[in-house]
Amino acid sequence: METQTNLRKKRFNIVEQAMMRVKGFKELYLEFEDKVLISGQSPSVLRNYSRNVAGVCLHFNRLPQDISEKDLNIYLADMTRSDSPSLSNFKFTVYGLRYFYRLLGLKDRLVELPRIKAKKKLPVVLNYEECKAIFSAPAILKHRILLGLIYSAGLRAGEVSRLRLSDIDPGRMMIHIRQSKCNKDRYVPLSPLVLRGLQRYCKAYKPVDYLFNGSMPGTPLSTQGIRWMLHESVKKCGLTKDINVHTLRHTYATHLLEFGMDIVSIKELLGHSRIETTMVYLHVAKSSRINLFSPFDRLYKKD
């Protein structure tokens, strides 16, 4: 079984390899890091773009500006011809190269990068019994509470990682999600059942500042750690669906529709900028407008 540390090493190892093997990559990466920090962009931009650009640089053993347009286009085309092309991997490679070219002042290189069309697939959604099985699978209280919280509020992995103790408001029964995707804040309902679990968790673990602390003092639990927790829970349940942290968010939205909440309210709870993004859930449920609530309470409501 892979530990969180091993998973984290794999995630960042390719950037470290590029720093050691590709001349000038370390200096380029540090310049890119400064640019991301100054612009106030999400740390995920740095992680995703730099990791994929590092892969390109390692492949050619050259910096992006020293790779010919012809060679780069062949490399990108080969990515689309693979047996199972990853849209996210391709996207971050293309966007990462574009970002690096802008950083280097090579704007004429932007138009030469090809595109890959997204496959139109419905999201994977869990049924009620699968949700219950996943939430009860972890032997550790912290893991059970964390997974239940993600589903109960439709959170992204980064959002739950950054939650602070002060973001939980028992008086108003709300959770404050700060500076999420597109640097937007939002509030979502706090489930009374989840609040009881959080109170038990806080009493046992005594978290400081962040709701879920990382291994180092003053740091939040990493998104890699959160993904590992879910992976272990799913494996223990023996579920065969392709499940990741975002699956819980898809399931949250779908269950809200099934329980009767309207699509506009769900859009606001999810923090979507466009209603079209939310409307994919209409393919699996119909709804009518009622008061806002967390589906976690309905999940365990007795008949």
What CATH code is carried by the domain that includes residue 185?
1.10.443.10
Q: How far is CA 235 from CA 161, 242, 258, in A?
A: 22, 11, 27
CA distance 122 to 280: 7
Percent of the chain with pLDDT over 70: 85
Instruction: Give the mean model confidence (pLDDT) for residues 68-78.
Output: 84
Provide the pLDDT for residue 285. Answer: 65
Provide the pLDDT for residue 111. Answer: 45
120 falls within a domain: no
pLDDT at residue 109 is higher than 50:
yes
CA distance 49 to 89: 10
Confidence of residue 201 (pLDDT cuts 50, 70, 90): very high
Tell me, yes or no, whether 101 and 138 share the same domain. Answer: no
Residues with catalytic function:
156, 181, 246, 249, 272, 281
79 falls within a domain: yes
261 falls within a domain: yes
The pair phi, psi for residue 186, each rounded to 5°, is: -160, 165
The pair phi, psi for residue 88, each rounded to 5°, is: -65, -40
Tell me, yes or no, whether 74 and 192 share the same domain. Answer: no
The pair phi, psi for residue 187, each rounded to 5°, is: -115, 145
Confidence of residue 37 (pLDDT cuts 50, 70, 90): confident
Tell me what the pLDDT averaged over the chain comes to: 84
Non-local CB neighbours of 198 within 8 Å, separated by 6+ positions: 145, 149, 168, 211
Tell me, yes or no, whether 102 and 138 share the same domain. Answer: no
For residue 66, the surrounding DSSP H or E stretch is none
Tell me, yes or no, whether 42 and 102 share the same domain. Answer: yes
Instruction: Give the mean model confidence (pLDDT) for residues 174-202.
Output: 91
